[in-house]
Amino acid sequence: MNELARLILTLALAGTAVTFLGSLILWATNEDRRIGAALKRVLNGPSEATIVARGRGRGAGLSVTTGLFATAWDKGDWCMVYRLEEVTGAELLVDGEVAARVFRGETRKALDRVPATAREVTLRLVFDDPRYPDFDLQLWAAGDEDRRDAPTAASCAQAANQWLARVEAIVRRPRSAPVVSASPPPPAPKVAKRAAPPPPPEDEAPPWDEDDEDDTVPDLFDDDYSDDDREDAQNPKRNS
C-alpha cells in the first residue's frame, strides 16, 4: 500500500513538472509575447498599437508618445525603427490585388468589401527609407485554417483596414521642420601681446651706487682729521 501511494505521488509530481515545463516552453516561444517585448524595447516604451502576422514571426508597432514606428522579423530577434515622419503609406492586398491603400499626398482608397474567403491577405507598409522601403505582413495564407486558433481571412482583412486608418492619421500630420544647426560664433580676434622690456644686466650697478671720482669734499668726521683741520675746513677764511 505504501509503495502504491509512493508511485502515485511520484507520477503526480512528474506530471506537474512536465506540465510546468511545457507551459514555460510555450511562454518562452510565444510569438506574440516575443514580438511585443522586442517592440517595447526598440520603441522606448510600450507599443500603443501592434499587429502580428502569426506563424511568420513578423509584426509591427508604433508609439505616438515616442514618435517611433518599428517592424520586427524572426519573432523579434531583429527590428527596424523609423520615425513617424518616415511612414509614407500602406496597402491592403487581397489575393495580390490592391483592395485599399493610403499614401501621403493622395486620396485614400477605402476598402469596399471585406472578403469572406481569400487565399492571401497582406498588409504592406511603405517607408521613406532607401534601404528598407517596405515591409510585408502576410496576415493570412492558404493553409492557415488548419492552424490552432487561426483567425479568418475576413478578420485579418479587417485588422489590416484598421491599420490603414492609423497610417492615414500619421501621414496627414504635418512633418516636423528639419533641425537647422546654428552657425558657430565668429572666432575672437587675436590680440597681440606687448613684449616686456628686457631686464637690466646684472653686472651693471645702479647709477646712485657709483662712486663720484671728482668728489673732493673731505669727511669731517674721519678720525684722521685733527681738530685744526676741521676748523680750517669749516672756516676757509681762517687760512686767508
pLDDT given at position 117: 81
Q: If 0-12 CB within 10 Å is exposed, 13-18 middle and 19+ buried, where does residue 15 land? A: exposed
**What's residue 181's pLDDT?**
40
Quote the pTM value. 0.63
Beta carbons of 126 and 101 less than 8 angstroms apart? no
Amino acid at 101: R
CA distance 69 to 84: 6
Q: Is the pLDDT of residue 138 over 90?
A: yes
